[in-house]
Amino acid sequence: MHGFPLFCIFALTNKTMRIDIITVLPELIEGFLNESILGRAQRKGLVEIHLHNLRDYTTNKWRRVDDYPFGGFAGMVMQCEPIDRCISALTAERHYDEIIFTSPDGEQFTQPMANTLSLCENLIILCGHYKGIDYRIREHLITKEVSIGDYVLTGGELAAAVMADAIVRIIPGAIGDEQSALSDSFQDNLLAAPVYTRPAEYKGWKVPDILLSGNEAKIKEWELSQSIERTKRLRPDLIQKIDK
Ligand code: SAH
């Protein structure tokens, strides 16, 4: 039921994916990227995640990456040169499917976008800071601008970590059972059905009988009906997308 064609595409692609993240604060997300499912996916050779400290690409002795904005506005803006030098160094080595800039005014990050990006071979994710980056980088080097939601963060690192997590966990082999990733919320625009584990009764709170029945067909039917009911109740906007 869930995402069968997507799984077929996955099965055909078995190259190691590479994600290069450019940031002024690599230490902010280094731990996150090397733990749990992302860490395991890297150790299994399913993905390589490289962090690049933008300050390594500066040419001034203070390793400064920002300057005052033209026009007398408040705040600081990340300069073109270090970003251009870093991206050029990476693109000289290999072709990138997308050069992504994390930005609150970008396209909203969604599960379908994560699915599409997980099929890419090489991705760059550039994290902004301060007031943002010199717009000329966005005009000339960036191929995709992505927001993780309608709020403003202090930097793009959390956005890059969110994207890397959502992208990597659906690479086949990253989590034990691919079917499990494909039955998560938002695949097929449906929210996931509730899940339960042992004991079957806790403080008098019971697991639905059907899940203990061993009747696989009936359980599948229950799972789908729960997904539809929860989506209609909690996210009617998603149901409208299915109807279209
Ligand atoms: N002045 C900018 C916000 C800068 S916030 C504006 O009003 O649009 C600093 C950096 O944090 C941004 O350049 C971006 O890289 C990152 N960022 C902030 N909010 C984000 C969001 N919702 N999604 C993705 N990146 C975000």
Residue 231: CB partners within 8 Å, gap ≥ 6? 189, 190, 191, 238, 239
Residue 50: Cβ within 10 Å count: 13
Beta strand pairing status for 144-147 and 122-126? unpaired
How far, CA to CA in Å, does 133 sit from each of 81, 102, 129, 137, 229? 11, 10, 7, 7, 44
Mean pLDDT computed over every residue of the chain: 93
Spacing, Cα 98 to ligand 1 middle (Å): 19
pLDDT of residue 204: 98
| 203: its two tokens | 């403080």
3-class DSSP assignment, residue 123:
strand
Q: Does the Cβ of 23 fall within 6 Å of ligand 1?
A: no
Closest Cα to atom 22 of ligand 1: 104
Spacing, Cα 174 to ligand 1 middle (Å): 29
Domains and CATH numbers, the chain: 4-168 (3.40.1280.10), 189-243 (1.10.1270.20)
Closest Cα to atom 21 of ligand 1: 104
Q: What is the atom index within ligand 1 of the atom nearest the CA of 130?
A: 9
Spacing, Cα 77 to ligand 1 middle (Å): 12
The pTM is what?
0.92
Angle at 204 between CA 201 and CA 205, to 5 degrees: 65
Q: Does the Cβ of 163 fall within 6 Å of ligand 1?
A: no
For residue range 1-46, list pLDDT tens digits in order. 444 455 445 545 568 999 999 999 999 999 999 999 999 999 999 9
For residue range 73-123, list pLDDT tens digits in order. 999 999 999 999 999 999 999 999 999 999 999 999 999 999 999 999 999
Residue 154: Cβ within 10 Å count: 10
Spacing, Cα 231 to ligand 1 middle (Å): 30
Q: Does the Cβ of 149 fall within 6 Å of ligand 1?
A: yes
